[in-house]
Amino acid sequence: MRRATRKVRLTAAVLAVLAAGAVILAVLNSGTRHGHLDPRSADPTGSRAVAELLKERGVTTRVVTTAREAADATGPRTTLLVTEPDLLGATQRGVIRSAIDLSGGRTVLLAPGDTSLSDLSPGVRPEGDATTDDLDPRCTLPAAGSAGRAGTGGGLRYSTAVPGVTACYPSGGHPTLLVLPTGTTGGDTVLLGSETILLNESLAEEGNASLALQLLGSRPDLVWYLPSLADSDPATGSGDEDKTLFELVPAGWSWALLQLFLAAVLAALWRARRLGPLVTEKLPVVIRASETTEGRARLYRKAGARDRAATVLRAATRERLAALVGVPPSRAHEPAALVPAVSARLTGGPRDVTDLLFGSIPSDDAALVALADHLDALEREVRTS
């Protein structure tokens, strides 16, 4: 008993250590998995690569999560990147619009739609999705000219009648990148219809890296605005599809659950492995077969399990009779195979024993005793024939 308890405790300790290690790894790994378009994220859909390249060029990146923080951080030496303008509420759009008008710096709006364009960039309208991912610049913007072909066509296209606008990377006659002058001298607003050029997974394609660095690195300071839930407009946020339970679980914890599952499987294989042949062990008490049979019979009687007792008696008799009359063990419980062979061995001539071997359940204890006697007589008759 002590040995079994010691094994259980050892197994529990090993599983606890593995679980703790998995959780620690998940927590450590989760620090690098911040999310979509996050400059701290090394995920395929993160933007850490852009931030690192900008850092090498002397551009400082600051992440903010509220419109007020974003507006307070803007100025002539800053570029403000708004990653999801359509998620902003009316109050937040007003704050960002004031910053665009007064900062004198650059503002980059990433894939703005109808919801945000009316406040953040009046006079510009979306014209649907672009039909091609990689497009040629076809404009006089120096950044686009040096970058060349880039993946700006994976999102929206725009149209505008605002004077002084530079339109680049057209698809179907409508540009996917616009540069608009603002009211303050030296400031401008960039509308980028696709997020592709900022993602880690596509930064190295075409001229994406060059275009991203030039659009975001024209000033020494970059304010990277990731709108939080508090800044979201409830009317626009409710249109998103409901997420499943697994989508709501942070990525780090998903890895932790996977590691815990693997640890449990390894522990099960380790404990289930046999290191040698089975070893026979002397029983502390030897019980005679007759006593075991009698004890089981008493249990059947106490539970009133005549159906179970009758089934056991008939099944055992059929197996013994099959061996006597040459019926294969696999067909011992088939009436079509067993009954004719048994009937042919009866001394009084063939007779039907189907009801005896495959009949109904006895109605009382007397009928059960009678069934046992008849089965015993049938087996004795076959055995002596």
Q: What is the 3-state secondary structure (H, E, C) of 209-262?
A: HHHHHHHHCCCCEEEEECCCHHHECHHHHCCCCCCCHHHHCCHHHHHHHHHHHH
CB burial of residue 14 (10 Å; 0-12, 13-18, 19+)? middle
Q: Which residue has the higher pLDDT, 157 or 184?
A: 157
pLDDT of residue 3: 57
Confidence grade of residue 62 (pLDDT, cut at 50, 70, 90)? very high
238 vs 241: CA distance, rounded Å: 8
**According to the model, what pLDDT value does residue 212 have?**
93
pLDDT tens per residue, range 106-140: 999 999 998 889 889 888 999 888 888 889 999 99
Q: Find how far residue 229's CA is from the centre of its chain.
A: 23
Res. 64 pLDDT band, cuts 50 70 90? very high
The conformation of residue 196, written as its DSSP 8-state character, comes to G
State yes or no: pLDDT of 17 exceeds 90.
no
Amino acid letter for position 134: D
- Look up residue 374 and give its two tokens: 């008849």
From 15, 73, 6, 22, select the one nearest 221 (Cα to Cα). 73
Q: Of the given ranges (25-29, 303-307, 329-333), which has the lowest mean pLDDT?
A: 25-29
Beta strands in 172-217 (DSSP E): 174-181, 188-192
Give which of 199, 133, 190, 202 is closest to 166, Cα–Cα. Answer: 190
Helices 251-272 and 2-30: crossing angle in degrees, nearest 10, is 150
Q: Considering only CA atoms, which of 178, 181, 161, 179 is closest in space to residue 170?
A: 178
Contact in structure between 150 and 208 (CB atoms under 8 Å): yes
Non-local (6+) Cβ contacts of 150 within 8 A are 134, 135, 137, 144, 169, 197, 206, 207, 208, 210, 211
Q: Assign 60 to helix, strand or coil.
A: strand
Helix (H) or strand (E) holding 38: none
Query: CB count, 10 Å around CB of 167?
Result: 20
**pLDDT tens-place string over residues 84-115:** 999 998 899 999 999 888 888 999 999 999 88
pLDDT at 33 over 50: no
CA gap 360, 365 in Å, rounded: 14
Any residues with CB less than 8 A from the CB of 312 and at least 6 apart, and which? none
Three-state DSSP at 161 gives coil
Tell me what pLDDT residue 239 has: 43
Q: Does an H or E element contain 79, and which?
A: strand 78-82
Angstrom distance (rounded) from CA 223 to CA 319: 85
